[in-house]
Chain A
Amino acid sequence: MLQRIALGIGAPWPIAAFAQTASTGPAVATRPIPSTGEALPVIGLGTWITFNVGNDRAARDGCADVMKAFFEAGGRTIDSSPMYGSSQPVVGHGLARLGPAAKMLFAADKVWTSSAARGPSQIEESRRHWNVPRFDLLQVHNLLGWEDQLPLLLSMKQAGRLRYVGITTSEGRRHREIEDVMRRHPLDFVQVTYNLLDREVEQRILPLARERAIAVIANRPFREGALLRGLQSHRLPAWAAEIDCVNWAQVALKFIVSHPALTCAIPATSSVAHVRENMAAATGRMPDAALRQRMAAHVEAL
């Protein structure tokens, strides 16, 4: 029933290969980006709400501490957006404080404007906020103006100013359109909402991502915390120990990242303890298909 986290060791899905993602960090499960084979840790770091702390210096330093713990635990992918208020400059503050400790960063951001003319300047503003030479991944946020922004991102990739191109949606919106874009355009990534309760993408988008060799990022893995708040009063089932989970957050994350089409999940947190717990979900045993079904059924029944 259990799935080994080791490349090719009897794993029915290409779940992960051990990878040393930070010089001092533990081995964490990774998944290859289908278009290049580059390995990404299966747990990333989101910044929606949690990193929007404005000019609060103490809170900014707290976010930098979260990033430090994330990289120390072997994390790489940090995801933000110009829609997230001060999150981008807060990420930039953290990167500046961490210096070489953040060298494994996989910088994922978005373009979020309906104006074709605004796209390039917005991307440049975002890059300056992060203070990175270039983004690894840029995604068209919630498909806003994708007819104009997607060609822009593809041209940036062609020119070597961007490594990967993607699109995003959340909470099940515009799935038909997402599918259409996935079929007709050379995407590297698609970002969708996927968690123990929101599983609509299992029907069409995740199979299509596998078919089209598109990496998948799962957003809102905890339904912005509501899922965990609902689960915290319930005892952890016995099967949680079989997949090395000690809390509901790890159960929720292992459910997501063990889907064969998933590349990584991006839980957001402002707590160092929580980011460590989240990153621990990228280690140890993973559920197989049968256990995943039990997990979903169990949580649905609660």
Chain B
Amino acid sequence: MTEWWTYRLSDFLMFSARTYRRLFELYNAEVWPLPALVCIGAALWIGIAWRRRRVSAQPSQVALVALTVAWLWVAWAFHLERYATIHTAAPWFAGAFVLEALLLAAVAWVGLHRRTSPASGGRLGLGFGLLVLAIVGYPWLGVLLGRPLSQAEVFGIAPDPTAVGTLGVLLLTASGCRSAARRRAVVMAWPIPLLWCGISGATLWTMDAPEAPLLPALAVIAAAVAIGTRPSNAAS
């Protein structure tokens, strides 16, 4: 690209806000009742995870496997099948989402049969907070902003709440890491969800969407808490 300094962020927006919202509306209708089932299932899982948080690491493993499936699904069903019809970069996004799925699978794999300590403090609060926001709050965010529920962005179906929920799970997962291999895998799983929060936030900003600052803000807060709180180093 020549004279790159003359380009504004809005120069890269290829579609209107209306087209972007309709994409979710049509997507939800085409895969219905999957969004409702995922919402209910994920909400139930949050409840279980919250109750077991002090006695077991199993919800974390289940969550990591579920997230792996979710990132693969979003890569294929959203980015490749739908977003790519209006955004030339969507196949690249799909590739990144597949890579993140592999990294989450790696985190789950290296964590098998290893006892982990429960999350606590800021990690616990923010981790569950991000999960609740992604699973319960995100579908209603658009409604609060005056958009129809049919255009809801659902965790595990749409990329933004999936990225936010993943940040929450990574906060909870990292807190219990006693294995160096797992800690490394967890660290490697952070950049793509963080990057997606930036990319999607920028896209929403160019569309003048009022929720545009939300994703980057959540990413910054999650990263700050992750960096600022040390995982437990107790022996396994």
Contacts and interface: CB of A to CB of B under 8 A. Distances in A.
Contact of A54 (B2, B3, B13, B86): B86
A59 B20 CA distance: 12
B70 to A, nearest CB: 23
A173 B2 contact: yes
A193 B15 CA distance: 19
A285 B225 CA distance: 65
Given A173-B2, A173-B3, A174-B2, A55 B19 contact: no
Contact of B19 (A53, A84, A224): A53
Contacts of B16: 49-50, 52, 270
Given A59-B22, A85-B15, A270-B16, A52 B86 contact: yes
A56 interface: yes
B82 interface: yes
A174 B2 CA distance: 8
Interface string A238-267: 000000000000000000000000000000
A173 B2 CA distance: 8
Interface centre among A49, A85, A224, by most B CB within 10 Å?
A: A85
Interface in B69-125: 82, 85-88
A148 interface: no
Contacts of B10: 224
Contacts of B23: 54, 56
B86 A85 contact: yes
Interface string A68-88: 000000000000000111100
Contacts of A56: 19, 22-23, 26
B14 interface: yes
- Chain B: number of interface residues, binned into ranges: 10 to 19
A83 B87 CA distance: 10
B6 A85 contact: no
A52 B22 contact: no
B88 A86 contact: no
The main secondary structure of chain A at its interface with chain B is loop
Contacts of B26: 55-56
A172 interface: yes
Contacts of B2: 173-174
A256 B13 CA distance: 25
A39 B188 CA distance: 61
Nearest to B8: A171
Nearest to A87: B14
A85 B85 contact: yes
Nearest to B83: A54
B6 A84 contact: no
Interface in A148-179: 171-174
Contact of A55 (B13, B15, B85): B85
A49 B22 contact: no
A84 B82 CA distance: 16
A52 B14 CA distance: 7
Nearest to A177: B2
A59 B26 CA distance: 11
A86 B85 CA distance: 6
A200 to B, nearest CB: 12
Nearest to A54: B85
Contacts of B11: 171
B6 A53 contact: no
B14 to A, nearest CB: 5
Contacts of A174: 2-3
B22 A85 contact: no
Interface in A167-200: 171-174
Contacts of A53: 15, 19, 22, 86
Given A85-B88, A86-B85, A52 B3 contact: no
A157 B10 CA distance: 35
A54 B18 CA distance: 12
A53 B18 CA distance: 9
Contacts of B3: 173-174
Nearest to A224: B10
Interface string A136-152: 00000000000000000
Contacts of B13: 49
28 contacts: A49-B13, A49-B14, A49-B16, A52-B14, A52-B15, A52-B16, A52-B19, A54-B23, A54-B82, A54-B85, A54-B86, A55-B26, A55-B82, A55-B85, A56-B19, A56-B22, A59-B22, A85-B87, A85-B88, A86-B85, A171-B11, A172-B6, A173-B3, A173-B6, A174-B2, A224-B10, A270-B16, A270-B18
The 9 closest A-B pairs by CB, nearest first: A54-B85, A54-B86, A52-B15, A85-B86, A173-B3, A85-B14, A53-B19, A52-B86, A86-B85
Given A49-B14, A53-B86, A85-B87, 5 more contacts: A52-B15, A52-B16, A53-B19, A54-B23, A59-B22
